[in-house]
Structure 1
Amino acid sequence: MPSPDEASRLLQLALDARRRGDALLHLQIDIAHLTGQASSWGSAENRMQRDDHVGYFLSEVEKLGWRLEHTGYAFVESGATTSSRIWGTGEGVVNHGGIEAFFTFRAM
């Protein structure tokens, strides 16, 4: 679920669009983060932090009179950390970034 402030902002956008009579609503939400640290051996220690409450938020949007029509996802890289491997066999890479979800709703 987005942060409380972000959820309020997005729900207000949905409400405003509904009041204007918009036929479609498009929302972009950050739903997961890829983080990690380089290990002393030079390997990658990536971890995915997921948001398991996105469905709850989408249900709140639908309560405002919208029906989910389409969903898309993209990984947005924000950087990477590299470290040399201890035996000189290259580098370990830890990517950082977020998974953005794109939700398109149609007015009911």
Structure 2
Amino acid sequence: MPHPDDASRLLQLAHEAHARGDALLHLQLDIAQLTGQTSTWGSADNRMMRDDHVGYFLSEVEKIGWRLEHTGYAFVQSGATTSARIFGTGEGQVMHGGVDGYFTFRAV
């Protein structure tokens, strides 16, 4: 589930668009974050933190009177950290960023 403030804002947009009679609704959600820390050995320790409640949120949008038509996803890199490996065997890199979900709904 998106952050409560974001969820409220997006659901309000869905209600307003439906009340206006819009045919389509397009929403963007953060659905995962890639984080990590450098290691003293210079290796990367990346971890993906997923939002397992996205389906619940999408169901709430559909309850308003929308039907999910299309989805798309993109990784948006926000940075990276590199560190030298201990025995001079190159560098380790830790990526940072998020996976954004793009959801297009059609009015029922």
TM-score by length of 2: 0.99
1:19 aligns with 2:19: yes
Structure 1 partner of 2:61: 61
Query: Structure 1 vs Structure 2: percent identity of aligned residues?
Result: 79
Letter in 1 for 2:106: R
Q: Deviations over 1:12-62 (max 9, x none)?
A: 000000001000000000000000001010000000000000000000000
Distance 2:57 2:94 in 1: 30
**RMSD of aligned residue pairs (Cα, Å):** 0.3
Structure 2: segments with no counterpart, 5+ residues:
none
What residue number does 2:28 align with?
28
Question: SS of 2:19's equivalent?
Answer: helix
Aligned residue number for residue 51 of structure 1: 51
* Counterparts of 1:76 and 1:91, CA distance in 2: 22
Which residue of structure 1 lines up, in the alignment, with residue 74 of structure 2? 74
Offset of 1:95 from its aligned partner? 0.1
* Structure 2 Cα separation of the partners of residues 51 and 17 of structure 1: 25
Task: Figure out how many residues of one structure are paired with residues of the other and give that number.
Answer: 108
Give the C-alpha shift of residue 9 in structure 1: 0.0
Q: Which runs of 5+ in 1 are unaligned?
A: none
Shift of 1:87: 0.6
Equivalent residue, structure 2, for 1:100: 100
Question: In structure 1, how many angstroms separate the alpha carbons of the residues matched to 2:4 and 2:76?
Answer: 22
